[in-house]
Amino acid sequence: MCELFAMSSRVPSALSYSLNEFATHGGLTYGNKSGWGIAYFSDREALLVKEPEPAHNSPWVKFIAEQELKSRCVIAHVRHATVGEPSLQNTHPFRRELGGNVHVFAHNGTLAGLHQDFAGTPLRHEPIGATDSELAFCLLMERLRAVWNRADGEYPPLEERLAVFSAFAGEMAQRGSANFLYSDGDVLFAHAHKRIYEENGGYSTPRAPGLSVRNCVACQEGPEFACTGLKVGLGDQQTVLLASVPLGEVGWEPLPEGTVLALRGGLEVARQAT
C-alpha cells in the first residue's frame, strides 16, 4: 500500500532516498504504482516534486537521487490509489500556504465518508483533486487558520498547533486508517495509526504499527546513516527518521496506534496519544 517517509534534522542534511528502496516500493515489487512525491523544506518554502507514474523508471527520481538535496525537513510518499485516479492532482504530498508559510501533508489510508459528510462545506483551501487525503488536509488547514492568525508573523506556539493536529488526527482515525505526515516548515507532525500490509500475495486487515521512528541521535555510529535505498548525512547533529515500514532491522521503534509526534530540528519535542 502507500508508503510514507520523513526526516527532521537540526541542520540541512544531504539526503538520498533513492531508487533501490523508494523506486522498488514505487512499482517493481510492491503495489504502489500510482505515483510518488517528495518535498524538501527550506525555511518557509518547500521544493515539491511529484508525478503520477511508478517511481522505478522515473527520470525525475533518478535526477533527485543524484542531486543529494539538503533540507532540515523532508516528506516523501509513494502511492497506491484507493480514492481518486492516478493523476498529478491526486498525488501526494499536497501543499498549501497559511500564515506566510508553505504547509505540506501526506497520508496513508482511506477515510470513509469524508466527501459525503463535508460536501458543500466552505473552505478557504479547496481540494484540487478527488482524494479523501487532500480534503482532509484542507480541513486541517481550516482548523489551523485561527492559530495562524497572528499579526507578528511569528510561528504560533507549539502547544496550540499540536492540540489542533492531535484533535484532527483523532477525529479522522474514526473513519479509517489515518497515518499522517504534516509540516509547517518549523515542526514536523506525525500521526501513527494502522495500515494494510501485503501478505502472501494479498492484503491484511489494517493493523498497527502505521509508522515507525528511528532516532539517529541515539544510534549514530558515523558520518551518515545508510540502509537499502536510503542515505542520510548525519555529521555532528541530531536527526530523526519516520517510515511506514522500518528501513532496516536495527534501531526502529514501532509507534503505538494513535500516537502523535512533533519533531523540531531533529529532536522529539512532543509525544502524546490522540
Burial 168-191 (b: 16+ CB within 10 A, else e): bbbebbebbbbbbbbbbbbbbbbb
CA atoms of 251 and 228, how far apart (whole Å)? 15
Give the CB-side neighbour count of residue 109, counting CA atoms within 13 A: 30
Q: Would you give the end-to-end CA distance of the chain in angstroms? A: 24
Among candidate residues 2, 73, 138, 216, the one labeled active-site is: 2
Count of CB atoms situated within 10 Å of the CB of 66: 11
| CA 163 to centroid of chain Cα atoms | 19
Q: Which residues pair with 38 in a beta bridge?
A: 49, 76
Write out the three cell numbers for 187.
Answer: 515542526
Q: Which residues pair with 51 in a beta bridge?
A: 36
CA atoms of 185 and 7, how far apart (whole Å)? 12
Does 73 participate in catalysis according to the annotation?
no
Write out the three cell numbers for 95.
Answer: 501543499
Cell 500556504, located at residue: 97
Q: CA–CA distance from 232 to each of 13, 37, 46, 59, 254 (Å)?
A: 7, 18, 19, 21, 20
* CA dihedral over 22, 60, 111, 72, signed as positive or negative: positive
Write out the three cell numbers for 127.
Answer: 481540494
Q: 143, 168 in Cβ contact below 8 A? A: yes
- By the 10 Å C-beta count (0-12 exposed, 13-18 middle, 19+ buried), 67 is classed as exposed
The residues that are catalytic are 2
